A = this chain, B = another copy of it.
Amino acid sequence: MEITGKSIIGFSRGIESDTTFTAFNPATGEAVEPNFYSASLEELNKACELAESARIAFGKVSGKEKAKFLRQIADNIEALGDALIQRATLETGLPNARFVGERGRTCAGLRMFADLVERGDWVDARLDTPNPERQPIPKPDVRSMLRPLGTVAVFCASNFPLAYSVAGGDTASALAAGCPVIVNAHFAHPGVAELVGLAVSEAVKTCGLPEGVFSLIFSKGYEIGQALVKNPHVKAVGFTGSRVGGRALMDIAAARPEPIPVYAEMSSVNPIFILPSAMEKHFETIAAGLHASVTLGAGQFCTKPGIVVLPETEETEIFTSKFGELIAYTSKHPLLTEGIRNNFEKLSAARKTKISSAENDLQGFDVNASVFQTDAETFLADSSLEAEIFGPTTLLVNSNKREELLEIARKMEGQLTATIHGTPEDLLEYEDLIAILETKVGRLIFNGYPTGVEVGDAMVHGGPYPATSDSRTSAVGTRAIRRFCRFVAFQNFPNGALPDELKDENPLGISRLIDGKLTEK
């Protein structure tokens, strides 16, 4: 498929506007062909109108049909073949293998939601049966289930050109819920966006769905993205990116005449607490594991461990020296955009006690990995040390007092994850630390690393602000679909007028809560 640089507005394409931009090759810093044309407000509004006109019909499409659609998208993405992988590598500086993996994850996610909506149980169907004899008033027949929220705006993530972009987790879960989706492409990988956008758009046609189910908008600057969030037809927003960007969208959404939910996944330093027992026995493997986690994808994961709290023991010195060595021998790697690179350099320069860094010659948006160190007292006194630095760097915080550990946990902002390295006995001995951490994060990890988020029913990828805008949800796993739904009840409705999920005969054979009892099939 040819990359044309034009937005995808339902089944038509955007015009060649005067406002253009290009992708960049982070490895060289050079512009990459072709030009991309920023959508006009009129084009954006047309996409929103199309979505609005598709909304009710798409909301009534059966789980089986939605499953077919999601699987078709996955098939179409796979059919793009090497062209997609090569373009992703060109636009991001990340290796081919990464995108083979990320494509697998993206398509697996689409198929996971296909399976979920085909099975159908996810709607939380509930039936409270009537009792006409009840005194003083008859008990009505009340049945309810999840229904789609309406059109969803999805902002592509810089660091996940496939898995959290055009057909990534937000889009897949919104489409699965029955919501039309309008995607705002990320300026750093617009070619990938167009290729995947065409794959989605083709699937809409193949499956005979209404035109407005999917649009993809290219834009330069913030105006069009903000207008998308302000559009009255948009009923929810999915975003993965910086804290500043996420908060800006939250504020716009909250100030609308009709405020709407924003699911922004923003910043997290994913603290790791290494307890003395783990340091004593496993300093070598932890140094290697931590190095892999900090430098994975050039440290450009929202789950990268940015703070590591260490005991002040003899082994800690060996650990630190070993970890510093691994950092020093880390290959250079370009970051995704010039802005991310500049931010990395600026924030790193403001940190005082660098204990090791790689010293490769740099070009393009390259950076060198680094590690900083401080003590608990300094850390607790300077909240800037808790700020996320996106890229291959981390901060070691030495602490020798249990009370300091608790204080670090208490002062910590909301995080996606926290990790404890120790023995099973430590978890009981440090119950108070775990109890505090549990209230600060979406996921607690024992003797592992936060990067590499498993996709499944039980995963929680979320956490209190500022890790995300809405701690009640998960952006990964099947629970993500609930972000784009709301409950609707039907009272005393005739059986024939009810959605299939709520009919007496349970034609879909789903599990339902009937008079408080979970009923299988």
Contact = CB atoms under 8 A, between A and B. Distances in A.
A493 B446 contact: yes
Given A439-B56, A471-B486, A516-B457, A447 B492 contact: yes
Contacts of A414: 258
Interface in A480-521: 482, 485-494, 496-497, 511, 513, 515-516, 518, 520
A128 B458 contact: yes
Interface in A119-136: 121, 126-128
Which among A469, A482, A494 has the highest number of chain B CB atoms within 10 Å?
A494
Interface stretch (A11-19, A204-212, A359-367, A427-435): A427-435
Contact of A469 (B259, B434, B445): B259
A213 to B, nearest CB: 16
B443 A491 contact: yes
A427 B492 CA distance: 12
A267 to B, nearest CB: 13
A115 to B, nearest CB: 8
Contacts of A258: 414, 464-466
A149 B489 contact: no
A497 B459 contact: no
A227 to B, nearest CB: 20
A486 B511 contact: no
Contacts of A497: 424, 427-428, 434, 446
A491 B55 contact: no
A131 to B, nearest CB: 10
A474 B452 contact: no
Contact of A458 (B60, B143, B448): B143
Nearest to A493: B446
Given A128-B458, A456-B142, A448 B492 contact: yes
Q: Which of A428, A438, A469 has the most CB of B within 10 A?
A: A438
Given A459-B128, A465-B259, A487 B472 contact: yes
Nearest to A465: B258
Contacts of A142: 454, 456, 458-459
Total identical chains: 2
A190 interface: no
Nearest to A253: B254
A443 B471 CA distance: 26
A241 interface: no
A455 B353 CA distance: 60
B518 A144 contact: no
Q: Which of A127, A254, A259 has the most CB of B within 10 A?
A: A259
A5 interface: no
Nearest to A258: B465
A56 B445 CA distance: 19
A479 interface: yes
Given A447-B492, A454-B140, A496-B424, A487 B460 contact: yes
Nearest to A101: B136
Interface in A2-25: none
B496 A460 contact: no
A444 interface: yes
A496 B250 CA distance: 39
Q: Closest 7 CB pairs between A and B?
A: A254-B254, A460-B489, A427-B497, A424-B494, A126-B458, A443-B489, A128-B456
15 contacts: A56-B439, A128-B454, A128-B457, A143-B458, A144-B459, A258-B414, A428-B497, A442-B487, A442-B488, A445-B492, A446-B492, A446-B497, A447-B492, A472-B482, A518-B518
